[in-house]
Amino acid sequence: MAGPNILLTRIDNRLVHGQVGVTWAGSLGANLVLVANDAAAADPVQQNLMDMVVSDGVQTRYFTLQKTIDVIHKAAAHQKILLVCKTPQDVLTLVKGGVPIHAVNVGNMHFAEGKRQIHKTVSVDDADVQAFRELAALKVVCEIRRVPDESGDLVSKLL
């Protein structure tokens, strides 16, 4: 096998919710939603809540960033993976760890103290900007798009 069949990598600070577990997974034909997030990997309550919004026939896995780096290349050929991360820093960690990510869908990054809004659903702080710039330097295209049928905006043009 050439590598894991990652259909889409998405940044969403909510991780898995209806838009991800139903709309994106269905649109892509994903049969596995892999959440790469250290906190979610250790929180069975959060995992159960996320499992409730995933379409029938779609499996879920909750791995730490390091476990994702360690096992993603062992994914079976039939696994069509929707990879979900919470932050651009998480994606950068995966890319630097050898996970073959070439494009990122940025769905939702809530506004919070110290962040500035660059799009309707995306707010960033200096650490986020730095991570996006590093991803761009690594030739990873980051595009803001909430749902599959919406046109996207390149993050690099909004920073």
Specify the CATH number for the domain of residue 104.
3.40.35.10
**Nearest C-alpha neighbor of 16 from the set 108, 101, 78:** 108
* Residue 54, in any domain of the structure: yes
Report pLDDT for 2: 73
**Whole-number pLDDT of residue 159:** 85
Domain of residue 92 covers 6-149
Task: List, for residues 97-111, the tens digit of each pLDDT value.
Answer: 999 999 999 999 999
152, amino acid identity: G
Domain contains 51: yes
Helix (H, G, I), strand (E, B) or coil at 88: helix
pTM confidence score: 0.95
Q: How many domains does the chain have?
A: 1
Judge whether 137 lies within some domain: yes
Number of continuous H segments (helices) and E segments (strands) in the chain:
7, 9
DSSP string, 105-138: EEEEB---TT-EEEETTEEE-HHHHHHHHHHHHT
Residue 89 falls inside a structural domain: yes
**Domain-located, residue 159:** no
Residue 111 within any structural domain of the chain? yes
Which one of 17, 73, 78, 102 is the catalytic residue? 17
Q: 88-96 and 126-137 helices cross at what angle (nearest 10)?
A: 30
Give CA–CA dist 2/87, Å, rounded.
27
**1, part of any domain:** no
Mind listing the pLDDT tens digit for each residue in 61-88? 999 999 999 999 999 999 999 999 999 9
pLDDT tens track for 4-45: 999 999 999 999 998 899 999 999 999 999 999 999 999 999
Q: Is residue 80 part of a domain?
A: yes
pLDDT tens digit sequence for 110-150 = 999 999 999 999 999 999 999 999 999 999 999 999 999 99
Q: 3-state SS string over 46-62?
A: HHHHHHCCCCCCCEEEE
Q: What angle do CA 79, 28, 109 make, to 5 degrees?
A: 105
Of 2 and 124, the structure prediction assigns the larger pLDDT to 124
Annotated active-site residue 102? The verdict is no
